[in-house]
Amino acid sequence: MTAMSQSPSLEDEQVVSFARLALDSIVREFPNKPGQVYTGPESAVVPREIHPVFYGSFDWHSSVHGHWMLVRLLKTQPNSSIEAEIRTLLHTQLNADALLVEAAYFDEKQNKGFERMYGWAWLLQLAHELHTFEDDDAKIWAAHLKPLEDQVVALLLGYLPRLSHPIRTGVHPDTAFAFGMELDYARAVGNKELEQALVAKVLSFYQDDVNYPVQYEPSGEDFFSAGLNEADLMRRVLTQQEYVAWLDAFFPGLADGAMGRVLTPTQVSDVTDGRLVHLAGLNLSRGWTLEGIVSALPDGDQRKDVLQAAAIAHRKVGLEYVFSGHFEGEHWLASFAIYLVTQAGITQG
Amino acid sequence: MFLTVLLFSCISQAPTPATYPESLTEEEISIFTKTAMESIVQEVPWTEFKTYLGEESVVTPKELHPTFYGCFDWHSAVHNHWMLVRILKTHPGFEGEQVVRDFLHKQFSKENLRTEAAYFENLKHSDFEEPYGWAWVLLLALELRTWENDVDAKIWAAHLHPLEKQIVNLFSGFVPLIPAPERHGMHENTAFAFSLAWDYAHALHLTNLEKSISKRAQDFFLKDVNYPSLYEPSGKDFLSPGFAEADLMRRVLSQNDFQSWLTSFFPNLENGRLGNMLTPTLQSGAMQGAYMHHIGLNFSRSWAMEGIVLALPNEDSRIDILLNAASLHREAAMDFVTTGVYDGDHWLPTFAVYLLTSRGLE
């Protein structure tokens, strides 16, 4: 039911400035927060030794989605003036041997929960982007990534039956966000087993939710709206008719714009604070989830205007924070911006 | 109602050591202290929350944190130390007391605790363990500084002081800065950290910090109504955001104000309806990692419910409902307090001791 439209094209200058943020961050090793489990003196090494590909961008998941963003730009904005530079970096980064080390990292018992499920979701988004890119380089990179991709898929399939409750939060562990990307991946690559496991889990967690407590959002460090993530996820698993009814029950005030502060963009008090700057990302992710919901509603649904207006407002405020000059935001916000402006959650492929 | 009487009696008489009830059995004391002393010196596995600033950050946890390097992570190391102090303080004369004291003498050496404090001097580390680990440091300091007539405690408190001072400064800066509370049920939960810090500030007469927390608590939570109890718990929660909030508000509001706030916040509580929040969360999955969080959730719900009860007038009809649920949660949690699995053993006994010794009710 989603609109399979082309991604909007960007000005060359925009492509260059977005790409530049990722090109710089990906090879910047410090500061870095590996969040690793230390198991002895062998763990006391620089991040690059443990993660020869995704050692930059402050943390593993940000590096993964920085790579994804570069692939996404190559794919949706062909022939940009920075294309050659992006390809050169990705050839160096997405190297077969280095990616084998990244894959092997998850073999260790203490690493099996590493980056679960936020980093996993972005990794699958990267794989998804490569698999659906008709491009000679992309085919090579996809092949190099395959061992890590397989590792993550296996971990995910092992994790889903053990996950007893949804995790509802506006930060990394939010399950609705991860499920959305994982489902997009499973469908794009035709992994029926994963798709079915995800759909069953999603329905059991969220189908009966009503009267979402919009007035309790946002939390101070949110970069997601847990409520909008959920609504953006449910459009992926329900028919249009079911979805219209589900959304009525979930956000009963939506048609009247009675959504607490969820439809109003949030300002950031300090862009140099790594956690407070999360709210900049909140604007961008609200933007794409609002657009996702719109894409699933039938023409004439009166909620579309409310959602569309809010999406535009969020996009505007969110994009203002992307180029702050501070690494706290710049190591990740560009990916969020590109996910939004290239409509990665709506246009498949 | 016996429990209520007990709760009130400990409030009125604390903190003179002689008045602490025997809330732990000898067996529990033995298991909990042994588990804590083993975990505290267990260097691996350890989860790093630190930010690497460069090659110079490549050091072992023990070099960086010579006191709090064990227990899987820094905050658990802090609260396991707190637990040992708490047991010493509330259960004087137990078998093995001297072993625990000797152990703590070593752990709380002046030099080691100076190194712990120095870590926070680098501004780039200043969000390390914010606010959860900070809150436990304050509770540890509170426990030591309110322990009358104990020579060891005085020494340890003095050694802890540089770290305590760092954390008080950081916490005082943090409270006015946050734009909105963190409402999930994990480490960053604002209400929980505020409660521990408020207890610290209140007992030690840090009026500015106490007022600042009280003000922000009201800014954030006073207008909350109809708490969405059906949306709890999340899969990784070890705190109930709803109960943690109520347990904070009972600290900062007068009894009258709290009573009516609670009625708006949990409007159906008097009818025994509070979503899933009055029923312990049981785990059928493997006993590891995030699954342990729900055992901790049962503990923390239980102490929050007791805290709410403490703040209600005797005739309030919600007391029986809450105490009944608190007791169910305590029993469910105690079944799994130690399982021999490090994922839980490195922190759950602390939660048990916080609950069983009524720490939050003082």
Say yes or no: B276 contacts chain A, CB-CB below 8 A: no
Q: Are B182 and A219 a contacting pair at CB < 8 A?
A: yes
Round the average pLDDT of chain B to a whole number and report it.
93
Q: Chain A neighbours among B 221-240 (CB < 8 Å)?
A: 224, 226-228, 231, 233-236
The CA distance from A127 to the nearest CA of chain B, in Å, is: 27
Is residue A319 in some structural domain? yes
Contact of A127 with A189, CB cutoff 8 Å: yes
Q: What average pLDDT score do residues B249-264 get?
A: 98
Give per-residue pLDDT as tens, A269-296.
889 999 999 999 999 999 999 999 999 9
Phi, psi of A239 (to 5 degrees): -70, 165
DSSP A106-170: TTSGGGTTTTTTHHHHHHHHHHHHHHT---HHHHHHHHHHHHHHHHHHHHHHHHGGG--S----S
Dihedral angle computed from the Cα positions of residues A131, A159, A333 and A295, in that order, rounded to the nearest 10 degrees: 70
Q: Are A220 and B54 a contacting pair at CB < 8 A?
A: no
Its pTM stands at: 0.94
The CA distance from A31 to the nearest CA of chain B, in Å, is: 5
- Domain of residue A29 covers 12-341
Q: Looking at residue B5, what is its pLDDT?
A: 42
Q: Are A37 and B283 a contacting pair at CB < 8 A?
A: no
C-alpha A258 chain-centroid distance: 27
Q: Which single residue is written with the structure tokens 């802090």?
A: B78
Say yes or no: B183 contacts chain A, CB-CB below 8 A: yes
Say yes or no: A79 contacts chain B, CB-CB below 8 A: no
List chain B residues with CB under 8 Å of A32: 51-52
- A33-55 in b/e form (b: 16+ CB < 10 A) is bbbbbbeeeebeebbbebbbbbb
Sign of CA dihedral A71, A73, A79, A81: negative
d(CA A146, CA A95): 11
Q: Looking at residue B282, what is its pLDDT?
A: 76
d(CA A129, CA A133): 6
Is residue A2 in some structural domain? no
Helix ranges restricted to H, chain A: 12-26, 47-50, 60-76, 83-93, 96-105, 118-131, 136-159, 175-189, 192-206, 226-234, 240-250, 278-296, 303-320, 327-330, 333-341
Sign of CA dihedral A79, A82, A84, A88: negative
d(CA A59, CA A64): 9
d(CA B251, CA B197): 11
Q: Are A220 and B190 a contacting pair at CB < 8 A?
A: yes
Q: Which segment of A132-136, A320-324, B46-50, B317-321 scores lowest on mean pLDDT? A: B46-50
Q: Which residue of A has its CA nearest to B123?
A: A273
Q: Could you tell me the CATH number of the domain that includes residue A297?
A: 1.50.10
Cβ partners under 8 Å of residue A166, min gap 6: A175, A176, A205, A206, B234, B235
Say yes or no: A213 contacts chain B, CB-CB below 8 A: yes
The CA distance from B9 to the nearest CA of chain A, in Å, is: 37
Asked whether the predicted pLDDT for residue A3 surpasses 60, the reply is: no
Q: What average pLDDT score do residues B252-278 get?
A: 97
Q: Give the type of residue at A123.
A: L
d(CA B67, CA B78): 9
Q: What average pLDDT score do residues B127-143 get?
A: 97
List chain B residues with CB under 8 Å of A269: 177, 179
Position A259 confidence tier, pLDDT thresholds 50, 70, 90 = very high
Say yes or no: A165 contacts chain B, CB-CB below 8 A: yes
How many of the other CB atoms lie within 10 Å of CB of B313?
10
d(CA B87, CA B239): 23
Q: What average pLDDT score do residues A218-226 get?
A: 96
- Give one word for A51, left, alpha or beta, with left for phi > 0 and alpha for psi -120 to 50: beta
Position A9 confidence tier, pLDDT thresholds 50, 70, 90 = confident
- Domain of residue B12 covers 2-361
Cβ partners under 8 Å of residue B194, min gap 6: B175, B213, B216, B217, B248
Give the long-range contacts of residues B96-100, CB within 8 A, separation 24 or more. B96/B29, B96/B30, B96/B33, B99/B33, B99/B37, B100/B33, B100/B37
Q: What average pLDDT score do residues B4-13 get?
A: 43
Go through chain B and tell me how many residues it has.
Answer: 362
The CA distance from B59 to the nearest CA of chain A, in Å, is: 6
Say yes or no: A35 contacts chain B, CB-CB below 8 A: yes
If you ran DSSP here, which 8-state letter would residue A69 be given?
H
Cβ partners under 8 Å of residue B38, min gap 6: none
Report the domain count for chain B: 1
Q: Give the type of residue at B241.
A: P
Q: Are B49 and A33 a contacting pair at CB < 8 A?
A: yes
List chain B residues with CB under 8 Å of A38: 44-48, 60-61
Give per-residue pLDDT as tens, B293-317.
999 999 999 999 999 999 999 999 9
ipTM at complex level: 0.94
Q: Could you tell me the CATH number of the domain that includes residue B355?
A: 1.50.10
Position B291 confidence tier, pLDDT thresholds 50, 70, 90 = confident
Q: Are B235 and A165 a contacting pair at CB < 8 A?
A: yes
How many of the other CB atoms lie within 10 Å of CB of B99?
12
List chain A residues with CB under 8 Å of B283: 164
If you ran DSSP here, which 8-state letter would residue B276 be given?
B
The proportion of chain A whose per-residue pLDDT surpasses 70, expressed as a percent, equals 98
Give per-residue pLDDT as tens, A163-200.
999 999 999 999 999 999 999 999 999 999 999 999 99
How many of the other CB atoms lie within 10 Å of CB of B96?
15
Position B288 confidence tier, pLDDT thresholds 50, 70, 90 = low
Report the residue of B42, B47, B52, B291 to disrupt the A interface, i.e. the one with the largest count of A CBs within 10 Å: B52
Residue B161: half-sphere exposure toward Cβ, Cα within 13 Å: 7
Q: Are A44 and B190 a contacting pair at CB < 8 A?
A: no
Contact of B280 with B220, CB cutoff 8 Å: no
Contact of B265 with B329, CB cutoff 8 Å: no
Is residue A6 in some structural domain? no
The CA distance from B96 to the nearest CA of chain A, in Å, is: 31
Give per-residue pLDDT as tens, B146-194.
999 999 999 999 999 999 999 999 999 999 999 999 999 999 999 999 9
Q: Looking at residue B354, what is its pLDDT?
A: 98
User: What is each CA distance from A124 to A6, A142, A145, A187, B122, in whole angstroms?
Assistant: 21, 11, 10, 11, 37
Asked whether the predicted pLDDT for residue A58 surpasses 50, the reply is: yes
Q: How many CB pairs under 8 A join A and B?
A: 117
Q: Are B284 and A36 a contacting pair at CB < 8 A?
A: no
Is residue A202 in some structural domain? yes
Of B258, B362, B264, nearest to B311 by C-alpha is B258
Asked whether the predicted pLDDT for residue A247 surpasses 70, the reply is: yes
User: What is each CA distance from B226 to A18, B230, B275, in whole angstroms?
Assistant: 43, 11, 11
Say yes or no: A173 contacts chain B, CB-CB below 8 A: yes
Give per-residue pLDDT as tens, A302-315.
999 999 999 999 99
Of A301, A180, A165, nearest to A234 by C-alpha is A180
Q: What average pLDDT score do residues A66-94 get?
A: 98
The CA distance from B346 to the nearest CA of chain A, in Å, is: 15
Asked whether the predicted pLDDT for residue A133 surpasses 70, the reply is: yes
Position A226 confidence tier, pLDDT thresholds 50, 70, 90 = very high
Report the domain count for chain A: 1
Asked whether the predicted pLDDT for residue B326 surpasses 80, the reply is: yes
Is residue A347 in some structural domain? no
List chain B residues with CB under 8 Å of A159: none
Say yes or no: A24 contacts chain B, CB-CB below 8 A: no
Is residue A243 in some structural domain? yes
Q: Looking at residue A347, what is its pLDDT?
A: 81
Say yes or no: A309 contacts chain B, CB-CB below 8 A: no
User: What is each CA distance from A32 to A101, A102, A144, in whole angstroms?
Assistant: 19, 17, 25
Q: Looking at residue B123, what is its pLDDT?
A: 87
Position A2 confidence tier, pLDDT thresholds 50, 70, 90 = very low
Identify which of B58, B60, B224 has the shortest CB distance to residue A46: B58
